[in-house]
A and B are shown apart, each in its own frame.
Chain A
Amino acid sequence: METILFYVLAAVTLLSAIFVVFLRRPVHNVLFMILTMIGLATLFILLQAEFLAMVQIIVYAGAVMVLFLFVIMLLNLEEVSLPKEPRPLRWGFGIILSLALVVILFPVFGRFVPSIVGTGQPEGIVGNVSNMELIAKELFTTYLLPFEVASVLLLVAIIGTVVIGRKFTKD
């Protein structure tokens, strides 16, 4: 049951990812990207990482992509304004990059699917507590410093966007 689910969801995710790249209208691309994000979230659920799945939906599908859509609708990007002919150089570059990605991912391929096919139950400690407690404990003990650094970075980014977005009026 879970294996079938996995393959169906993975197929949906991959197909929509392919559509993101190959469709020509920006709004359609964004829509399929949303579908990709939701597909990823469902895969996280299959891996028993519910918290990650929910965060994936709230942050990426729910907030980031809304902003993408918002900007594309505001600019009213049409198909016409994009380059029509795919250039051979770009194709070559794309193929090389995707091959490089395959090479990097190669060691993982063998192990990825069987972990789903297995018992379907989380192992040991993950099964007993809710995901979120576990993540929270790790974040605030083992990874406290990286966590704080990341939050300071985000704060800097927020202040930066406010400064850039602000209209300076000469008085």
Chain B
Amino acid sequence: MESAFPVLLVVIKTLIVLGAILTFVAYLTLIERKVLGWIQVRIGPNRVGPWGLLQPLADGAKLLLKEEITVSSANRVVYIAAPLIVVVCALIPFAVIPFAKGLGLESVLGPIASKFNLNTGVVADINLGVLYIFGISSLGVYGVILGGWASNSKYSLLGSIRAAAQMISYELGLSLSVVGVLMLAGSLSLVQIVEAQDSVYKWFVFRQPLGFLLFLIAGSAEIARTPFDLMECENELVAGYQTEYSSMKFGLFYLGEYAHLLFLSSMMTTLFFGGWQGPILPPIVWFLGKTFFFVFVFVWIRGTYPRLRYDRVMQFGWKTLLPVGLFNVMATAFVYTLWLKYVS
């Protein structure tokens, strides 16, 4: 049984992280509705529990109890698989996000803790973390495309075609915006990227301001947040790819969407704002604080900007975002090489 115990510990660690993420995701819906209400001078949900705190539970129960409808001409297997793909691809990238420095487990578990990486505040520290994230998130597109296709409805199909085009276009901009950070940190591992930002002036947002801006824009287009949510645009496409989904399958799409939001916020924290680094307070508090600040920023953007026109979104992606991203990469490489040669 010697070998089974550490594996069990890793599984427990994964489950704890997963549980925390799912809870946060549930409460993101409440945060979003509350903040939007505040921005629009409304009250927001306040009937279920004090300050509406039990609202996510009520929503979940409602989704579970709703009637499950499968469109009669739908392609059943693909129709069911689509929301699952979305949720899985939204949840597994969290494995490489470092959420804290050390968990202090070595005092309890001894050498096992260091041997199986139980002590690090990350589920899996792989040295290609950033590539892994891009790989998985590029697979997430399939959930959206297939969901729209399998529903056999014109709105869904249009929504998923828009989604495919938009996600492919902005994926390039997103990857380019991160390259600057990777060059400066000299690593693809998110743990090492965070460790490279050990004081505030070293945060990459100050050394890569353009990269951060590009990441913010391309990221919100990639997860389809409001100025870019053309694939589910209610007034043209009803709800895009999720039109024909009901009950918990719809809930899964919803879950995937908010998991993406949480993930993007934690990515911004990790890549540009020093991750868990910060004085006095414990690392996990810093990490969560920064992450939820970005969640707030995204809700703020949603409450402020109207939806863009589709052709403008595509034009912006290819004709502005991509060249600026390329320029940022080249400028960073140029300045960094000169810096290494003459200054340090």
* Residues of A that sit less than 8 Å from B by CB: 27, 31, 34, 38, 41, 50-51, 54-55, 57-58, 61-63, 66-67, 69-70, 73-74, 130-132
Contacts and interface: CB of A to CB of B under 8 A. Distances in A.
A38 B136 CA distance: 11
Interface stretch (B161-169, B228-236, B297-305, B336-344): B161-169
B116 interface: no
Contacts of B146: 31, 69
A70 B128 contact: no
Given A54-B132, A63-B171, A69 B138 contact: no
Given A73-B164, A130-B128, A132-B188, 14 more contacts: A27-B78, A54-B128, A54-B134, A57-B139, A58-B135, A63-B138, A63-B171, A66-B145, A66-B168, A67-B168, A69-B164, A70-B145, A70-B165, A70-B168
B138 A62 contact: yes
A10 to B, nearest CB: 20
Given A63-B168, A70-B165, A50 B126 contact: yes
Where chain B touches its partner, the secondary structure class is helix
Contacts of A131: 128
Interface residues of B, number: 26
B199 interface: no
B142 interface: yes
Interface in B81-96: none
B164 A58 contact: no
Contacts of B136: 57
A54 B93 CA distance: 13
Given A62-B141, A63-B138, A63-B168, A73 B157 contact: yes
Nearest to A28: B78
